[in-house]
Amino acid sequence: MFTGIVTATGKIASSRAHGDGLRLRIDAPGFGLDDVALGDSISIQGVCHTVVAKDAGGFEVDTSRATLDVTTGLEAGRAVNLEKSLRLADRLGGHLVQGHVDGVGTVAAFDDLGGSWRLAIEAPPALSRYIARKGSIAVDGVSLTVNAVEGSRFEVNIIPHTRAVTTLSQLAPGVRVNLEADLLARYLERMREMLGPA
């Protein structure tokens, strides 16, 4: 479980075949790995991974073909958002994020508003029912508040701090991003399905 508050960025230094997927090496010298043990979870670009090796400068994870088929941004050479898993004593500064990507969206616009940026994303139609105005969504692992929704397109606002400390600064129209809907929205939808029409 994560909060969507990115604590550092890293770089996928290498990617090599491993089983049906890949073993990724993440260079993250500023991430602080002293409190990370083998088997711990780390969110990489919004995708939960398990640490299988580490040293002072970075760590390694395995990612399956099933994960690669439903996500984006895990290619060698890419800058990635990083977050350690949530501890019970931690502050919940963002929202509850599982690191289970619901779908891949496409940036429709990224406009400078003079002091902040408006990011518009076209979500997969099946995911759009979980996105609500003033609700939460994770974009490449970053917790954001939805400001507007129209059909399958939604908008969020990016403040200068978020743009400076995450990979969101590299977004542009046409770029694909990992999306995770609010956990509560998924459970509410499931309950509605089970209860049927009122």
Q: What is the per-residue pLDDT across 155-173, written as a single tens digit (0 to 9) for each?
A: 999 999 999 999 999 999 9
Residue 40 has pLDDT above 90, yes or no: yes
Percentage of residues of the chain with pLDDT beyond 70: 96
Q: DSSP readout, 122-139?
A: E--HHHHTT--TT-EEEE
Of 157, 168, 154, the closest CA to residue 123 belongs to 154
β-bridge mates for residue 180, sequence order: 138
Q: How would you classify residue 69: left for phi > 0, otherwise alpha for psi between -120 and 50, otherwise beta?
A: alpha
3-state secondary structure of 110: strand
97-137 residue pLDDT tens: 889 999 999 999 999 999 999 999 999 999 998 999 999 99
| Average pLDDT across the chain, whole number | 92
Residue 63 has pLDDT above 70, yes or no: yes
How far is Cα 177 from Cα 172, in angstroms, rounded to an integer?
11
Per-residue pLDDT band for 190 (boundaries 50, 70, 90) equals: low
